[in-house]
Amino acid sequence: MKPTVEVFDRTTEELLQTVEVPSAYIAQLATLMGWTEPEDFCFVYDLSSEQLKTIEEWTHTKLNGDNRIIQIVCLE
């Protein structure tokens, strides 16, 4: 399982950026997202500004910006 943040242009819905959350943060990610069941990792979630800020710190990547849709999904 690879938790990945996907950043889309809000107007065109074009995928602009993907960033994988390091595996060292899996347990912390589950807590941050409020995931309690294994199947919680299987869905696509919009990120709140607080969640986004934390993930940016973990990945050392700037993800936020104007006119963006930012979601997290777990890929295999």
pLDDT at 32 (0 to 100): 96
pLDDT at 38 (0 to 100): 85
What pTM, to 2 d.p., does this model score?
0.88
State the residue range of the domain holding 30: 2-75
Integer Cα distance of 24 and 65 in angstroms: 26
Number of domains in the chain: 1
pLDDT at 66 (0 to 100): 86
The CATH number for 41's domain is 3.10.50.20
Q: What six digits make up the tokens of 3?
A: 């938790």
Residues 6+ apart with CB under 8 A from 27: none
Per-residue pLDDT of the chain (76 residues; tens, 9 = 90+): 799 999 999 999 999 999 999 999 999 999 999 999 988 888 999 999 999 999 999 999 999 888 999 999 987 7
pLDDT at 20 (0 to 100): 95
Integer Cα distance of 17 and 31 in angstroms: 24
Host H or E run for residue 4: strand 2-9
pLDDT at 21 (0 to 100): 96
